[in-house]
Structure 1
Amino acid sequence: MEISKEELLRKFNERSRTTLMDTLHIQYTDVGPDYLVAEMPVGPQVHQPYGVLHGGATAALAESVGSAASALHIDRNTQQVYGIEISCNHLRSISEGKVVATAKAIHLGRSTHLWEIEVRDTEGKLISHCKLTNMVVSKRN
């Protein structure tokens, strides 16, 4: 039985409770066969000292959405995913509002997944361009 899009998003958001995603108020909002979307509010709680979105908060958003997207493509009973490399190019600053991160699959192999994550403001302007590599491993008993 296939799970509905709404139920899948509800489960992702529920699993994020009491985690960094919860702390940063990250919410998963859309999902498809090769992408996942999450949003994060931007305000003082995620600012760096100059009053704009901290690159580390952006990287946390990107890794969160990319890692969750990988979870869609593994057997979660026998496998798990670990982020092993992330790179982010921060192209524009934002101080208030919301950013939307879209992870799109570049490579979905047996042992590694590669994701491109675009972080945009609500007007569609590119804030950061990120790349995440995840390692797929067998769960230990």
Structure 2
Amino acid sequence: MPIDPSELSSSTRDLPAGQLNERMGIEILSATLEEVRGRMPVAGNLQPYGLLHGGASGVLAETLGSTLAALHALPERFPVGLELACTHHRAVTEGWVTGVARPLHVGRSTSTHEIVLTDDRGRRTCTAKLTCLHRDTSP
């Protein structure tokens, strides 16, 4: 049985300090079994040419998709990422990137999620797909 989304922290202030989410400035805005929403500042997450780093988009996508997988798998099973694929559609140079993760498939042993990232103007910047393995024990 999935965990209650209300058990999930509502902001990065509630996440453990010193983790990647905190370093990237990622905030979880809302979480349900149907979708997880979050955002990340562009500032501080740029590549040398002044554009949002593709790896930063990947971190946001995996964070949101993994959170959604955890909502479905925990407490009986523990999700870990198997594959992340990102297609970058548009450059971002300022503001925030917002992501929405939605399930494509949720099974007992795996789940796959689509994560769409958009800029402050609502333009799609990245589409990601994350597949997680649901383990019997924590790693």
Q: What TM-score, normalized by structure 2, do the two folds share?
A: 0.89
Identify the structure with the greater strand proportion: 1
List runs of 5+ in structure 1 lacking aligned partners: none
Q: Give the equivalent residue in structure 2 for 1:74.
A: 73
Q: Give the equivalent residue in structure 1 for 2:25.
A: 25
Q: Percent identity?
A: 33
CA root-mean-square deviation:
2.1
Question: 8 Å contact 1:103–1:116 — kept in the other structure?
Answer: yes
- Measured against aligned partners, the alpha-carbon deviations of 1:24-82 in whole angstroms (never above 9, x if no partner) come to 01000012221101100001x21111100000000011001100111101132x42111
Q: What TM-score, normalized by structure 1, do the two folds share?
A: 0.88
Question: 8 Å contact 2:88–2:125 — kept in the other structure?
Answer: yes
Give the AA of the match of 1:55.
G
Q: Give the equivalent residue in structure 2 for 1:93.
A: 91
List runs of 5+ in structure 2 lacking aligned partners: none
Question: 8 Å contact 1:83–1:135 — kept in the other structure?
Answer: yes
Residues in 2 aligned to 1:4 and 1:109: alpha-carbon distance in whole angstroms: 18
Moved beyond 6 Å, runs of 4+? none
Question: 8 Å contact 2:113–2:129 — kept in the other structure?
Answer: yes
Give the AA of the match of 1:25.
G
Q: 1:123 Cα shift? A: 1.4
Residues in 2 aligned to 1:61 and 1:26: alpha-carbon distance in whole angstroms: 7
